[in-house]
Structure 1
Amino acid sequence: MKRVIIYGGTGGIGRATAGALRRRGYALHLAARDGARLAAAAAELGDTTVTAGDVTDPDFFARVTEEAGGDLGGLVYAVGTINLRPLARLTAADAEADFRINALGAFLAIQAAAPVLKAGAGEGGAGVVLFSTVAVAQGFTGHASVAMAKGAVEGLALSLAAELSPQVRINVVAPSLTRTPLSAAITGSGTLASGIAAMHALQRLGTPEDIAGLASFLVSEEAGWITGQIIGVDGGRSALRTKG
């Protein structure tokens, strides 16, 4: 049974993707900061190993890859930030932190796992999934730091999809605002959340399950001829305007 490494697999989109991949029959290796939450997720999911640590530690990624073992079928990097501030209130430290967690972390995760992913690639290739945001394709006020970091994720994915082919496929899912613990400050406000929901053609915010279905498919060998793609799961927000 192939194993998939999931960074950030204890909550939100990462946890939903973990569940979707288990239903597809994959074994899992979860990597996140909170050891207690990792243990709880592993017990609930079954056939799951874990590594506790922080993606801001450059040594973390090699340890995760080693502890996950061989026969890797994929990798999901579901760690991110939502740092929404106007330009005048952003600091260099803010931008560096967003870049380190979103983009550099994805780079280091793939770099550490690439040899094992290549070795374990089946006919459909090993599948890697990263996450961006609709705010890269659509300019939103207050999104400069996170959009810059996620734009780097998209560039990284395209470069590595070319470099690591044909054994490794790399794709990006770009959601709009989704109801996760990370976004609770926004989605927990009824007036604000309903106002943002109304900006989408489908008139609601996303759920982790909306995103997880596509992410798990892209990891799987069913997506064997899909690589180097940025795919929006965003209620139509990146492409549709339904009101004047």
Structure 2
Amino acid sequence: MANYLIIAASSGIGQATDELLRLAGHNVFTTARDHSKITPDAILDATDFDAVDRVFHQAGELDGVVNCCGSLLLKSAHLTSKDQYQSVIDASLTTAFATVRAAGKHMNKGGSVVLVSSAAAMAGFANHEAIAAAKAGIIGLTLSAAATYASSNIRFNAVSPGLTQTPLTASLTGNETSRKISEAMHPLGRLGKPEDIARAIVFLLDPANDWITGQVLAVDGGLSSVRPKMRS
């Protein structure tokens, strides 16, 4: 039995990860911005470095942490305001940095940290500039942290999902036309489910996989790397 912290456990991927970890018999400490979706162990503004520090201290000795924070903004750069851009950066990259910072301070016995990037950071998609910038930053952060903290036995990896059916993406997945277009973009012909991403996160958190660090695992139905034959 291990002890895990899920930041943004109220997200679709966060809830699926929480369920898988608990089914495996692990202890899970959860955070959320409010009580609207779940009853978390702690309310957290994950952009606040000091608040993230306090949550790590409150959660106790940890074997692993996952940050599931993120946002959705589909706009070309010239239509994106500075406030919108900053909001996207804060939701994904700032929260990820705060997580890495706290892990480096508090995970004195080592462990695993998983961050969430996006297929948009690995392939070019129109109107994804702000998200791509934030999620690409997470990839760079993951690699650098993996190098910095390897001697402390803290592993840093990231998952990079394709379009996943969560409450955050409901405006896209709930529209039949946009859904069909998105499904066709994914070589395996379907959108992701939260549990698809959660299984990858749990794999990277597992101490049995403690020789894996500095990796970005694309869980995207082939979206970022595969160009298949056209379906008949």
* Aligned residue number for residue 28 of structure 2: 28
| d(CA) in 2 for partners of 1:22, 1:222 | 17
Give unpaired runs (5+ residues) of structure 1: 43-49
Indicate yes or no: 2:195 matched with 1:204.
Answer: no
Q: CA deviation at 1:189?
A: 0.5
1:149 maps to which residue?
134
Deviation at 1:198, TM superposition (A): 1.1
Q: Which residue of 2 aligns with 1:67?
A: 58
Kept after mapping to 2: 8 A contact 1:200/1:235: yes
Alpha-carbon deviations, 1:188-236, whole Å to 9, x = none? 1011111110111110000001111110110011211110001100001
Q: Indicate conservation of the 8 Å contact 1:33/1:53, yes or no.
A: yes
| Amino acid corresponding to residue 107 of structure 2 in structure 1 | L
Question: Does the 8 A contact of 2:11 with 2:68 survive in 1?
Answer: no
Matched position secondary structure for 1:66: helix
Task: State the SS of the aligned residue for 2:38.
Answer: helix
| Structure 2 residue identity aligned to 1:37 | K
Gapped runs of 5+ residues in structure 2?
Answer: none
Matches within 5 A, 1:153-192: 153-166=138-151, 167-192=153-178
| Distance in 2 of aligned mates of 1:222 and 1:242 | 34
TM-superposed CA distance for 1:66, in Å, is 1.8
Q: Report how far residue 110 of structure 1 moved.
A: 2.0
Match of 1:214 among 193, 200, 203: 200
What secondary structure is seen at the aligned counterpart in 1 of 2:159? strand
- Identity of counterpart residues, as a percentage? 38
Residue 77, structure 1, aligned to residue 63, structure 2:
no
Mark the CA change 1:38 to 1:64 in structure 2 (over 3 Å): closer, same or farther.
farther
Letter in 2 for 1:171: N
The alpha carbon displacement at 1:59 in A equals: 2.8
Write the distance in 2 (CA, Å) between the matches of 1:192 and 1:221: 39
Distance 1:38 1:162 in 2: 35
TM-score in terms of structure 2 length: 0.94
1:38 alignment counterpart: 38
| SS across alignment from 1:72 | coil
For 1:193, give the aligned amino acid.
R
With the length of structure 1 as denominator, give the TM-score of the two structures.
Answer: 0.89
Q: 1:203 to 1:89 in 2, by over 3 A?
A: same
Q: Secondary structure at the match of 1:59?
A: helix
**Cα-to-partner distance string for 1:56-92 (whole Å, 9 max, x where unaligned):** 33332022112112x2001100000111101221012
Which of 112, 129, 144 aligns to 1:127? It is 112
RMSD (Å) for aligned C-alpha atoms? 1.5
8 Å CA contact retained: 2:89, 2:134: yes
Instruction: Check the 8 A contact 1:204/1:235 in 2, yes or no.
Output: yes
Q: CA deviation at 1:19?
A: 1.3
